Amino acid sequence: MRVFVLIFNAGTENEGIHTVRLGDRNKILMFESEDDATRYALMLEAQDFPVPSVEAIEAEEIKEFCASANYEWEILTANSNELVTPPELNVEETDWKPDGEPEISEPSRSNTTDDAEPDFSDSELEKIRRKLEGLL
């Protein structure tokens, strides 16, 4: 059966699937209706959450992923008269980073400060300085 899930940064190495936190566990919501999934995504956006993509996927794939990640899952039926809304509180830190936010990694040369260790020893710097002065 094909269902719709919410994916952040779809198609990138930084992909993340939307989950709802239940205690110490995560639950993936699978929507039978693409319209319901889109409505839910818009409600997340209204809560200043990054905007997810609505992606169609086989329910069995999600169930297998949930089993491997120790997640719960729930299929939200299209015929339900009950409107599903996101929780009022969102987690402060996600396992993925929204687009435009680089992951924390080793500092680059441009981020080093004047206190940083030089790449050359004092004697090497002195030789370079002499050569440069000789050019003047």
**CATH label of the domain that carries residue 47:** 3.40.1350
* Rg (alpha carbons) of the chain, rounded to whole number: 25
* pLDDT band at residue 97 using 50, 70 and 90 as cut-offs: low
Listed in sequence order, the DSSP H helices in the chain are 34-46, 59-69, 122-135
**pLDDT at residue 109 is higher than 70:** no
In a domain, 38, yes or no: yes
29-33, 67-71, 93-97, 103-107: least confidently modelled range: 103-107
In a domain, 136, yes or no: no
CB 54 within 8 A of CB 6: yes
Measured between alpha carbons, how far is 86 from 43 in angstroms, rounded to an integer?
7
In a domain, 65, yes or no: yes
Total domain count, the chain: 1
Percent of the chain with pLDDT over 70: 68
Provide the pLDDT for residue 107: 41
Residue 12 sits in which domain range?
2-97
pTM of the predicted protein model = 0.63
Measured between alpha carbons, how far is 38 from 49 in angstroms, rounded to an integer?
14
In a domain, 89, yes or no: yes
Q: Could you report the per-residue pLDDT of 15-72, keeping only the tens digit for each?
A: 999 999 888 899 999 999 999 999 999 999 888 888 899 999 999 999 999 999 999 9
Instruction: Identify which has the larger pLDDT, 90 or 70.
Output: 70
User: DSSP string spanning 47-77?
Assistant: TTPPPPEEEEEEHHHHHHHHHHHT-EEEEE-
In a domain, 132, yes or no: no
Q: Is 11 helix (H, G, I), strand (E, B) or coil?
A: coil
